[in-house]
């Protein structure tokens, strides 16, 4: 049980490091939102569940915290992405397509 929990915690920690490095490295606010949400949610979930496996008495409370992270992190990232689209933050130069141009006339995006 100890080895399995340690491996799962190690995977989570590696994803947290890579997600934070993506925040520093990527060129654009939307790409940064992608890195900072996907990698960080995955990494935090695996780290917390790995701690719960390492100490079996803590498992349900750790699962509660992990579920809470899993719910709240995409909501806040979506709010920031929507806000930065509305106030007109530009895409980077290497962007190929912007799909939100198609829906601009239907709703007041």
Partner 1 sequence: MTILIVFAIIIVLGMFFSFLRMLIGPTASDRAVAVDTITTTTVALLVLLAFIFERYVYLDVSLVYALLAFVGLVALARYLERGI
Shortest distance, position 94 Cβ to partner 1, whole Å:
17
Residues that bind partner 1 (CB under 8 A): 6, 9-10, 12-14, 16-17, 19-21, 23-24, 29, 32-33, 36-37, 40-41, 43-44, 47-48, 51, 54-55, 57-58, 61-62, 64-65, 68-69, 72-73, 75-77, 79-80, 82-84, 86-87, 89
Q: Is 46 within 8 Å of 18 (Cβ atoms)?
A: no
**Beta carbon nearer to partner 1, 78 or 105:** 78
Task: Write down the least CB distance from residue 103 to partner 1, Å.
Answer: 17
Closest to partner 1 by CB, 4 vs 86, is: 86
DSSP string, the chain: -HHHHHHHHHHHHHHHHHHHHHHHH-SSHHHHHHHHHHHHHHHHHHHHHHHHHHSGGGHHHHHHHHHHHHHHHHHHHHHHHHHHHHTTPPPPTT----GGGTTTTTS--
Q: How far is the CB of 84 from partner 1 (least distance, A)?
A: 4
CA atoms within 13 A on the CB side of 93: 0
């Amino acid at each position: 049980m100890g080895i399995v929990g340690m491996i799962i915690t190690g995977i989570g920690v590696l994803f947290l490091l890579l997600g934070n490095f993506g925040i520093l490295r990527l060129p654009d606010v939307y790409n940064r939102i992608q890195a900072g949400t996907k990698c960080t949610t995955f990494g935090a979930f695996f780290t917390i569940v790995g701690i719960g496996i390492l100490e079996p008495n803590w498992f349900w409370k750790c699962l509660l915290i992990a579920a809470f992270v899993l719910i709240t992190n995409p909501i806040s990232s979506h709010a920031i992405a929507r806000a930065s689209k509305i106030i007109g933050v530009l895409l980077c130069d290497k962007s190929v397509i912007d799909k939100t141009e198609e829906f601009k006339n239907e709703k007041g995006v």
